[in-house]
Amino acid sequence: MKVQRGIQNKTTTPSAQVNQKENNSKRHQVVENSAELTIQRKYQRIADQSSHVKHLGVFQEMVNDSSLQLMRSNGINNVIQRLKHTKAEVNDALDSGVIKSFLAGIYGLRYRHHNDEWIYMTASAHQEDGYEASGAKYWYRAMPEAEFLAFTGSFQFNGDSYGGIAPNRAYVQNPKYFGNNKPATHIVEFSTPGEGFLYDLFKERLGVHGNPKAEGGGTFGLGPSGNGAGQAGVIFNQLLRDAAINYKVVDWKDVNTLP
C-alpha cells in the first residue's frame, strides 16, 4: 500500500499567538534591563574609584550620547538622568545672548557639547592629531582660568609645575586634561614660525634637556619642572615678547548658566 506524504499545515491558535507576543515582549524587556544594568555596573566601578569626585561627568563624553548624564547622588549612589536642556535649547541661548559667551565671538567658537554644569565650545585647529614634535608648527595647552587670564594679561607663560604643551589638539582635548572635573577651561593653540621650530630650538639651546616626552606626539614642559628646569619656558616667553609666537583659543569650557 502506497502512503502519500505531504506537508502538514501548522496552525496557531489565537491564545498561542498572544502567549508568543508576551514571551517576545518579556525577552525584549530582559535585554533592555540587562543593557541598563551593565551600564550602571560599569559606572559604579568608576564611581568607586573616584569617590572624591561629586559629579562624574556625562555619558556624552564616554559613550557619545548627549541625552544622558551620569552623576553621583549624595556622594554614594549613581543615577542616570536626562539633561535639563537640549542641544537646540543651549544653541538658542548662545545665539540670542542669554548665555553671554564673549570668547565665542572673538575666536569663532561653536557649540560642541554640554551638561548641566558646563557648555563646551570649539573652533578648528591646525593640528588635530597624528603630529610629531619634530615637525610641529602648532602647540596646544589646556589652561585653568586663572592661568589663562594671567597669560592674556602679561602675554607670558605663567604655568606651574611641568606646564606641558603638545603638538596635537586631540591629546589636550581628552577629558583627562579637559574634562568636567578638571580645572582647565581653555585650550590655547600657539603658532610658531615653522614646522619643527620649537623642537630644533630646544634641542639647540638645551641639549639633552631639550628632548620631548614620548607622549601625545612629544610634549615639552615650560614650567619649573619642565625641560631644562624652566629654561624652556624662559625661551618660550622671549619668543612671545618678540611676537615670534602667537596664540588663539580653540576650546572653551564655560559655566552653564541656564536655569
CA distance 45 to 40: 9
Alpha helices (H) along 68-107: 87-96, 102-107
Q: Are 97 and 158 in contact (CB under 8 A)?
A: no
Start-to-end CA span in the chain (Å): 87
Residue 40 grid cell? 550602571
* Residue (of 92, 230, 218, 65) closest to 161 by Cα position: 230
| pTM > 0.85 | no
Residue 97 grid cell? 545672548
State the DSSP H helix or E strand holding residue 151, giving kind and residue range, or none if neither.
helix 145-154
User: Within 10 Å of residue 122's Cβ, how many Cβ atoms?
Assistant: 21
Residue 100: the pLDDT is 67
Residue 46: the pLDDT is 38
* Residue (of 251, 119, 249, 139) closest to 191 by Cα position: 139
Q: Are 107 and 249 in contact (CB under 8 A)?
A: yes
- Tens-digit pLDDT string for the chain (259 aa): 444 444 444 455 555 555 555 555 555 444 444 444 444 444 444 334 333 333 333 333 433 333 334 433 334 334 445 788 888 888 888 877 777 667 777 888 999 999 999 999 999 999 999 999 999 999 999 999 999 999 999 999 987 789 999 999 999 999 999 999 999 999 999 999 999 999 999 999 999 999 999 999 999 999 999 999 999 999 999 999 999 999 999 999 999 988 8
* Residue (of 68, 31, 56, 95) closest to 179 by Cα position: 56
Residue 239 φ then ψ, to 5°: -65, -35
What amino acid is encoded at 65 in this protein? D
